[in-house]
């Protein structure tokens, strides 16, 4: 039995992120069944109602983008809807355990595509490790799973 698990903390306002991480969890189960060294996935959804908790294990943060105004380059933009996740990740020493941020958004937003995730990675002093659009595709699921698996292995060795 593998010791390692991929822990994911996410927020989802309209369900796209929830759909993608649930698909990732299912994919992880098939990978683990084929080879138990492949990590399973646990999910924690943060909402406006979530209590703060102290994280004690490494995790990946999944961050959709909701911004109002600006163009992400030379104008200010205001973060909407996702602030509860940002506050949770910055609570106590939670940011220390973040192994990376995965962003999602819509490419129609051009330079603002996945901007919240890129900002979170900088604030949390970690890396922006992957992105996908909307609910993602099966190719995205495989790609993001393997990025997280490699990063987890590198951090736990």
Q: Is 106 in the site for ligand FMN (CB under 6 A)?
A: yes
- Quote the CA–CA distance of 5 and 37 in Å, as a whole number: 10
Q: Give me the numbers of helices (H) and strands (E) for the chain, helices first please.
A: 4, 7
Among 4, 5, 13, 25, binds ligand FMN (CB under 6 A): 13
Among 16, 31, 94, 126, binds ligand FMN (CB under 6 A): 16
Q: Is 112 in the site for ligand FMN (CB under 6 A)?
A: yes
Rounded to a whole number of angstroms, the minimum distance from the CB of residue 143 to ligand FMN is 17
Q: Is 114 in the site for ligand FMN (CB under 6 A)?
A: yes
Locate the DSSP E strands across the chain: 5-10, 40-45, 59-64, 67-68, 78-79, 98-105, 128-133
Kindly indicate which of the ranges 9-17, 28-36, 41-49, 149-157 contains the residues binding ligand FMN, using the contact rule CB under 6 A: 9-17
Which H helix or E strand runs over 148?
helix 138-156
- Quote the CA–CA distance of 58 and 67 in Å, as a whole number: 28
Opening angle at CA 119, ends 111 and 131, nearest 5 = 65
Residue in this structure with the two tokens 């809807």, named with its chain if needed: 81
Kindly indicate which of the ranges 23-31, 40-48, 62-70, 86-94 contains the residues binding ligand FMN, using the contact rule CB under 6 A: 62-70
Kindly indicate which of the ranges 12-20, 25-33, 38-46, 91-99 contains the residues binding ligand FMN, using the contact rule CB under 6 A: 12-20
- Please give the residue ranges that form the binding site for ligand FMN (CB under 6 A): 12-17, 64-67, 104-106, 109, 112-115, 134
């Amino acid at each position: 039995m593998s010791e390692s698990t991929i822990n994911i903390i996410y927020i989802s306002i309209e369900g796209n992120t929830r759909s993608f991480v649930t698909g990732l969890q299912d994919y992880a189960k098939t990978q683990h069944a084929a080879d138990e060294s492949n990590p399973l996935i646990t999910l924690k959804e943060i909402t406006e109602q979530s209590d703060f908790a102290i994280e004690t294990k490494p995790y990946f943060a999944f961050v959709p983008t909701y911004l109002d105004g600006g163009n992400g380059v030379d104008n200010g933009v205001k973060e909407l809807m996702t602030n509860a996740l940002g506050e949770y990740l910055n609570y106590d020493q939670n940011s220390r355990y973040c192994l990376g941020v995965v962003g999602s958004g819509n490419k129609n937003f051009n330079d603002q595509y996945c901007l919240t995730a890129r900002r979170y990675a900088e604030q949390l002093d970690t890396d922006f490790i992957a992105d996908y659009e909307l609910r993602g595709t099966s190719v995205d699921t495989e790609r993001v799973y393997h990025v997280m698996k490699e990063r987890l292995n590198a951090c736990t060795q």
